[in-house]
Amino acid sequence: MKQEDNISEEDKLIQQDFDSLLEEYLNTNHRKKIAIITKAFNFANAAHKGIRRRSGEPYIMHPLAVAHIVVKEIGLGSTSICAALLHDVVEDTDYTVEDIENLFGKKIAQIVDGLTKISGGVFGNQASKQAENFRKLILTMSEDVRVIIIKIADRLHNMRTLASMPPAKQYKIAGETQYIYAPLAHRLGLFRIKTELENLSFKYEHPETFKMLEDKLAVDAENRNRFYQEFSKPIDEKLHELGYKFELKARIKTAYSIWNKMSKHNIPFEEVYDILAMRIIFEPKPDMSEQAQCWMIYSALTNIYKPHPERIRDWVSTPKANGYEALHVTVMGPGGRWVEVQIRSVRMDDIAERGVAAHWKYKTGETDESELDKWLREIKEILKHPEPDAIDFMDTFKLNLFASEIFVFTPKGDIKTIAQGASALDFAFMLHSDIGFHCIGAKVNHKLVPLSYKLNSGDQVEILTSKKHTPQPEWEGYVITAHAKSRLNEWFKRQNKKIAAQGKQKIADIFAGLNLEMDNTNIVRLLNHYNIVEPQELYLRAGKETLNLDDIPRLFKPKSKNVFSRYLKIFSANGQPNENNKSKDTETAPAELVPAQRIDRKKTFILTDDRHGYELSACCHPIPGDDVLGYVNDAETVEVHKQQCPVAAKLKSSQGDRIISVRWDTHKMLSFEETIEIRGIDRKGILIDILKVISDSYNVNISRINIESNAGIFVGQFHIYVHDTEDIEHIRKDVLKIKEVNTVVRIEKKQTE
């Protein structure tokens, strides 16, 4: 019998998958280090032998899938492929990082070590673990960015196979992906992966809405294809005429992107007009710059179709901070339809698709520092002074994952990139921390402005300073960038430390005057009296003189030792406790706390009409029919949040073990106040027609109406009581039947964090 006859079908499939990985690697321009990749695969395959994923497939298929993403979709080389194949070995088996280093060298071992430290998701179950794991993720990224790239590939495969997980786990992983991994992928220039991560998160957070949008996209596919052929034909002919080698690609908005636009602008699917876009990817001619050729193609394009004057985005003259380069223009296509066209060279497209890996590929020299390199430098700076609180640290870091940037100029004309929405004070800190600390104002375009002034792209900014001036508490509200926030936090902490020391001394002096020890018992008594949790906060408030320290002598005043008189006060003549005096003169034992019934977090919690065991969160106002999740709080009550609620986003990513699946089972017993906005052409009697539809058809109560009319157009907000989202949808469809009505949308109540 031949040896291969003993190989199982499963082993053959695993080998075929690895052979396909090698083929993908051999098709790249990387040096062909087949031996070490084969060694890493054989080692990982043996280490994971007999282990299976939740889906039932052999575990080795996961590291193989991550390696496929690393080489084919991101374009990294042998070191990263080996690290991807080995990334779970130390976590899941008895092998150590030292074993990996002995077999595969220091660099691969370092990356595997970094991946092991941040395994199991960014966040653990407790706040301290969250902070530590998150810092490890960022620290390893600043040391070798390949760690986070492989981690993103790992997360992408987990998201692609998330269907095998229970709903509560899906919510946690999808929330964490949306909150951290998608912004990281965006910041590293991995646009296609970022888009897929967002769309997959949306699929599991809003399954019904996702399916509805996918179905609508499928129905409209034939019309879109017809339009695209008509739109692209003259462009194709013109580019051939200009002698370019090029590729035209149709880009369709994802369900997530469409939903995002619908939510942001309160519009239905039918009013999302930029579902289709086009990419022109050209091979540049050698005799002129890529930038000049982008503008030549732009000129040819706008001779065919008229451009929208306010929708030109020039990222070829000044690339985005994550390295993205392209020229975007929106033009009026056939049938009065706006279409966005993205013009890129092959190099620009490679960077747009593969991000940081392609950026390194095109670097021209060691001093060629990109915006991405500068960003990684900033991360190292932030890590020197991290926030002690986990959520604060995450928020501070996330500020640096901004999606939009603006470009401003120094007085000498140097161009600087800064986050959209940044203030003059943010800009001062970006130039240098000392400039920020002593900033007194700014001149923008030669006009004096306050520190809180929000900068616009193209502004020329001059910062004014004074050595006597120092940060003020309100400055924290002026800044949005992580760098400025971390520097101000650091400064205020130093100041607070001095003030707290002074406050502690004040309390010590009062205690000394009362002949009391400043021991733990007495400090706890003070904390309870002032309703303060931490001693440091007590000292700080004492130092800032926001506490009435005159309370201390009264609090520690010796009590009467006359036990007999106390006894007479408490008991009446018949020997029974005197109820009138009891509460005043005795400290009664607290009532025995009845422990709340524990929620089974593995099961779907049912939201019934009696509202038992759950509460609807005030931050996002969910009603029956909304896509929701549950969060089990300390009182074992389920807080119900909308999936898109910003508070829920934080809970999913930081308290994943408390997230549960919930399901509505209400029967139109409860009523909720909601707002619908109706727009249309004004005419006599239109309001009566609308009211008739709302109140007569559905017996819906209207609490109030705000309606305005201007130049023949009316906009009305109707505050109505409904049972669920089904009521709103019925009303929306019926009101739209009124000829003059143009749009009917539900206005989401303001979400607060």
Range with the poorest average pLDDT among 13-17, 87-91, 166-170, 662-666: 166-170
Range with the poorest average pLDDT among 1-15, 195-209, 657-671: 1-15
Per DSSP, what are the bridge partners of residue 226?
none
Range with the poorest average pLDDT among 286-295, 406-415, 432-441, 726-735: 406-415
pLDDT over threshold 90, residue 110 = no
Cα angle 220, 161, 127; round to 5: 115
The confidence score (pLDDT) of residue 592 equals 38
Residues carrying an active site annotation: 91-92
The confidence score (pLDDT) of residue 359 equals 62
Is the Cβ–Cβ distance between 538 and 527 less than 8 Å? yes
CA distance 377 to 400: 12
pLDDT over threshold 60, residue 124 = no
Range with the poorest average pLDDT among 40-44, 109-113, 370-374, 714-718: 370-374
The confidence score (pLDDT) of residue 373 equals 65
Burial of 381 (0-12, 13-18, 19+ CB in 10 A): middle
The confidence score (pLDDT) of residue 553 equals 86
User: What is the largest distance, in Å, between two alpha-carbon atoms of the chain?
Assistant: 113
**How sure is the predictor about 188, in pLDDT bands with cuts at 50, 70 and 90?**
confident
> 360-406 pLDDT, tens per residue?
656 555 445 565 666 666 666 655 555 555 455 555 555 555 446 77
User: What mean pLDDT do residues 426-431 have?
Assistant: 91
Please report, rounded to a whole number, the percentage of residues in the chain having pLDDT higher than 90. 25
User: What mean pLDDT do residues 153-172 have?
Assistant: 88
How many helices, marked H, and strands, marked E, lie in the chain? 32, 20
CA atoms within 13 A on the CB side of 249: 14
> 36-48 pLDDT, tens per residue?
999 999 999 999 9
Closest by Cα among 323, 421, 420 to 375: 323
- Distance, CA of 581 to chain centre: 57
- Which helix (H) or strand (E) element contains residue 351? helix 346-354
Closest by Cα among 171, 185, 104, 175 to 141: 185
Range with the poorest average pLDDT among 72-86, 260-274, 711-725: 260-274
Closest by Cα among 655, 750, 751, 119 to 394: 655
The confidence score (pLDDT) of residue 2 equals 44
> 235-290 pLDDT, tens per residue?
999 999 999 999 999 999 899 999 988 887 777 887 787 788 999 999 999 988 99
Measuring CA to CA, how many Å separate 613 from each of 14, 147, 637?
48, 43, 5
The confidence score (pLDDT) of residue 572 equals 42
Q: Name the residue type at position 440.
A: I
CA distance 227 to 527: 71
pLDDT over threshold 90, residue 700 = no
Give the single-character DSSP code of 668. S
The confidence score (pLDDT) of residue 535 equals 85
Question: Phi and psi of 670, rounded to 5°?
Answer: -100, 150
The confidence score (pLDDT) of residue 246 equals 93
pLDDT over threshold 60, residue 443 = yes
662-665 vs 605-608, strand pairing mode: parallel
pLDDT over threshold 90, residue 619 = no
DSSP string, 538-569: HHHHHHTT-S-TTHHHHHTPPPP--HHHHHHH
CA distance 514 to 186: 61
Cα R_g (the chain), whole angstroms? 32
DSSP string, 28-81: SSS---HHHHHHHHHHHHHHTTT-B-TTSSBTTHHHHHHHHIIIIII---HHHH
Measuring CA to CA, how many Å separate 418 from each of 121, 191, 199, 314?
30, 20, 28, 16
> 463-499 pLDDT, tens per residue?
998 888 889 888 888 898 878 888 888 888 888 889 9
Task: Indicate the average pLDDT of the chain.
Answer: 81
Is the Cβ–Cβ distance between 224 and 275 less than 8 Å? yes
Judged by DSSP in three states, 573 sits in coil
628-632 vs 659-660, strand pairing mode: antiparallel
Is the Cβ–Cβ distance between 208 and 182 less than 8 Å? no
Q: Give the pTM.
A: 0.67
DSSP string, 266-294: T--GGG---SEEEEEEEEPPTTS-HHHHH
The residue written with tokens 């949040």 in the block is: 641
Please report, rounded to a whole number, the percentage of residues in the chain having pLDDT higher than 70. 82
Measuring CA to CA, how many Å separate 260 from each of 282, 385, 650?
31, 35, 18
Tokens describing residue 142: 């600043």
CA distance 587 to 520: 22
pLDDT over threshold 60, residue 233 = yes
Measuring CA to CA, how many Å separate 582 from each of 562, 563, 637?
17, 15, 34
Q: Which residue has the higher pLDDT, 627 or 575?
A: 627
The confidence score (pLDDT) of residue 514 equals 87
Closest by Cα among 164, 152, 134 to 194: 152
CA atoms within 13 A on the CB side of 449: 22
Cα angle 153, 157, 163; round to 5: 155
pLDDT over threshold 70, residue 358 = no
The confidence score (pLDDT) of residue 249 equals 93
CA distance 138 to 360: 20
Closest by Cα among 369, 386, 375, 481 to 424: 481
Closest by Cα among 134, 137, 129 to 113: 137
Is the Cβ–Cβ distance between 744 and 642 less than 8 Å? no
Range with the poorest average pLDDT among 58-62, 131-135, 519-523: 131-135
Q: Which residue has the higher pLDDT, 65 or 520?
A: 65
The confidence score (pLDDT) of residue 133 equals 55
- Distance, CA of 555 to chain centre: 48
